[in-house]
Structure 1
């Protein structure tokens, strides 16, 4: 069962709004990402505009992200996405976290993208994907896309989708998917690679 973080107390709100996080130097970020200096400057301006403190908490992330999917409920997927971007698991996303993740998603190699996707699906970050984790992500994507996008989708569709996926991926039938199984299956399966395109479209 997924429990989303509740609203922050007013104390931590105050604390977050007064923290001014200075990002790493542009040169360092340019070396770590596939963005040009100009692109990084432009991304940083946009980031600072939305988040003057230089840090994004989960509630802010959800409200920004939900604007892109007015036809559905994006809060649960945004929660998972936030955790995938929040690399040091401290409850806020720095500009560095954001651009490093974005660089992988937009310009990374297939393997880099699959590694990132695995991290998203591995909700509890134990190095394995369970069927429950995969179902939670899949349901959140269906919720986000909204009833109007898939009017013919039945309620059981996400779990049927996951059953098929999981059966293909869990090669040794031990009930969990490792990163090796995940990458190998995805690369060999054209349908899964096409589904990964859907995944990219919802970033």
Structure 2
């Protein structure tokens, strides 16, 4: 009986991987299969019983911290929200694979869209002065150094606006952000590190795809 079940599971896995590899185009079908298996092992470790159908916020944040070296609480929370597209407080297998497709191997256009979504804290389609201040203060202030560090952050916000706000309306629209990043790629993560660096990507992929690499 258990053998029949594992054959069924394998068939389901192949079917699911086939469907997901059509949308997560940055991965091969075998890679999608490996990510689905990894997903199910992570869901098994989920503590929140309400999130049994997916990866809960804490498990996801642990992955971001331990696997991808992220330390900024606010950014990690925003990345979770970027993956959790239906906003049900857990990451489904589809959200996991599609999210990782951009997170690990996204094109510049995909990454621009993703980063803008992370930085648009209230979801109104703009990155406001207040949002910039909030994120920069969060990611830059590790220890107090001067009398009023907020002044330095405010100056940085003004410099950033000067560089990126093409229509001079004192906030960044998606068009502003896209144009600025395409002119200067380093501005992609201007408001805090929300993508993994190459070292962490390589380490994750080597581990996640070890069965494929070894075969």
Could you say whether these structures have the same fold, taking a TM-score greater than 0.5 normalized by the shorter chain as the test?
yes
Against the structure 1 CA distance between its residues 40 and 190, is the aligned structure 2 distance closer, same or farther, given a 3 Å change threshold?
A: closer
> Which range moves more in the overlay, 86-95 or 61-70?
61-70
> Which range moves more in the overlay, 189-198 or 170-179?
189-198
Q: Specify which structure has the bigger relative contact order, considering alpha-carbon pairs within 8 angstroms and separated by 6 or more residues.
A: 2
Q: What is the TM-score when the length of structure 2 is the normalising length?
A: 0.67
Q: What is the TM-score when the length of structure 1 is the normalising length?
A: 0.70
Shift of 1:115: 0.9
Q: Can you list the C-alpha shifts for 1:155-189, whole angstroms capped at 9, x where unaligned?
A: 55655443322222222221221111110111112
Provide the residue aligned with 2:109 in structure 1.
Answer: 111
In our comparison, the structure showing a higher alpha carbon Rg is 2
Provide the residue aligned with 1:5 in structure 2.
Answer: none
The 2-side partners of 1:29 and 1:69 are apart by 23
Contact 2:23 2:98 in 1 (8 A): yes
Give the structure with the higher percent helix: 2
Q: How many pairs align? A: 175
The 1-side partners of 2:124 and 2:113 are apart by 14
Q: Which residue, out of 23, 27, 32, partners 1:32?
A: 23
Provide the residue aligned with 2:131 in structure 1.
Answer: 133
| Runs of at least 5 residues in structure 2 that lack an aligned partner in the other structure | 1-11, 45-51, 201-215
Contact 1:48 1:54 in 2 (8 A): no
Against the structure 1 CA distance between its residues 138 and 28, is the aligned structure 2 distance closer, same or farther, given a 3 Å change threshold?
A: farther
Against the structure 1 CA distance between its residues 35 and 185, is the aligned structure 2 distance closer, same or farther, given a 3 Å change threshold?
A: same
Against the structure 1 CA distance between its residues 190 and 126, is the aligned structure 2 distance closer, same or farther, given a 3 Å change threshold?
A: closer
> Which range moves more in the overlay, 85-94 or 58-67?
58-67
| Runs of at least 5 residues in structure 1 that lack an aligned partner in the other structure | 1-21
Contact 1:77 1:140 in 2 (8 A): no
Cα RMSD (Å) of the superposition? 3.4
Against the structure 1 CA distance between its residues 86 and 159, is the aligned structure 2 distance closer, same or farther, given a 3 Å change threshold?
A: farther
